[in-house]
C-alpha cells in the first residue's frame, strides 16, 4: 500500500467544536500526527492524520459527527530548498493535479501529505522516481 487514510470531520465554525473532536479522539487514545482546518463561513472541515483512522472515524460517527476517510499519499522529502518543487514537478510531469496539500516536519524529516484524484497512481509514479512514499504505520513512526 502506498496510500494512507486521512480522517475528515465536518464541524460547525463556532467555539468548542474542534475541542469536541479532539476530546473524543483523546479519550479513544488516538494519536494525531497532523491536522488542517479548511473553513467556509459557518462551517469547516478538519482533516487529521492519525494512527488508527478506522477507529477514529467510527468513534466520531458514533458520537454523531459526519466523518469520513479519504485516501491520500504521504511522501518524504529532504528538508532542504527545492524539495517540494521536485515532488510538485514530478506530479506535474504526469499531469497530476495537487488538491489539498499539507505537511509536517518531525525529527528532521519532512512529510508532505497530498490529496490527488488517483492517489494509488500518484504514489506509484513518485516511487518510480525514487521518492519515499510512506505507509500508515510509517507516518506514525516519523
Partner 1 sequence: MFWHQEMETLARPALESLQLERLRDTVRRLERVPFYRAKFRESGVTPEAIKSAADIRRLPFTTAADLRENYPDKLLAIPRDEVMRLHTTSGSTGKPKAVFFSKRDVDTAADLIARALCMTGVTRRDVFQNMMSYGLFTGGLVMHYGAEKVGCMVIPAGPGTSERQLLLMQDFGTSVIHILPSYALYFADFLEKKGVDPRKSLALRKAFVGAEAHTEETKRKIEAALGLDVYNSYGLTEMNGPGVAFECEGKCGMHLWEDNFVLEIINPKTCEPAGEGETGELVLTSINREAMPLLRYRTRDLTSLISEPCPCGRTHRRIRRITGRSDDMLIVRGVNIFPQQIERVLMAMPQIGRNYLILLEGLDEMTVKVELSPAAFDGEVGHVADLQNEVAEKLRAELWLRPKVDLVASGSLPIAEGKAKRVIDRRSL
Asked if residue 11 binds partner 1 (CB under 8 A), the reply is yes
Q: Measured between alpha carbons, how far is 93 from 76 in angstroms, rounded to an integer? A: 19
- The pattern of x and - marking residues 70 through 99 that bind partner 1 according to CB under 8 A reads x-----------------------------
Grouping H, G, I as helix, E, B as strand and the rest as coil, residue 59 is: helix
Cell numbers standing for residue 61: 460517527
Q: How far is the CB of 40 from partner 1 (least distance, A)?
A: 5
Give bridge partners of residue 45 from the DSSP assignment: 10, 38
Asked if residue 15 binds partner 1 (CB under 8 A), the reply is no
Half-sphere exposure of 136 (CA within 13 A, CB side): 17
Cell numbers standing for residue 103: 505537511
Figure out which of the listed residues 40, 80, 95, 107 binds partner 1, where binding follows CB under 8 A: 40
Nearer to partner 1, 11 or 112 (CB): 11
Asked if residue 118 binds partner 1 (CB under 8 A), the reply is no
Amino acid at each position: 500500500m502506498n496510500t494512507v487514510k486521512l480522517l475528515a470531520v465536518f464541524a460547525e465554525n463556532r467555539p468548542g467544536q474542534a475541542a469536541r473532536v479532539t476530546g473524543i479522539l483523546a479519550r479513544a487514545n488516538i494519536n494525531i500526527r497532523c491536522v488542517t482546518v479548511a473553513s467556509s463561513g459557518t462551517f469547516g472541515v478538519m482533516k487529521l492524520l492519525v494512527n488508527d483512522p478506522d477507529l477514529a472515524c467510527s468513534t466520531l460517527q458514533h458520537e454523531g459527527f459526519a466523518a469520513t476517510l479519504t485516501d491520500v499519499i504521504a511522501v518524504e522529502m529532504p528538508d532542504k530548498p527545492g524539495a517540494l518543487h521536485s515532488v510538485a514537478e514530478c506530479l506535474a510531469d504526469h499531469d497530476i493535479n495537487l488538491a489539498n496539500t499539507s505537511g509536517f516536519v518531525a525529527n528532521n524529516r519532512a512529510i508532505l501529505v497530498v490529496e490527488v484524484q488517483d492517489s494509488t497512481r500518484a504514489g506509484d509514479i513518485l516511487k518510480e522516481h525514487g521518492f519515499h512514499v510512506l505507509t500508515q504505520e510509517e507516518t506514525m513512526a516519523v
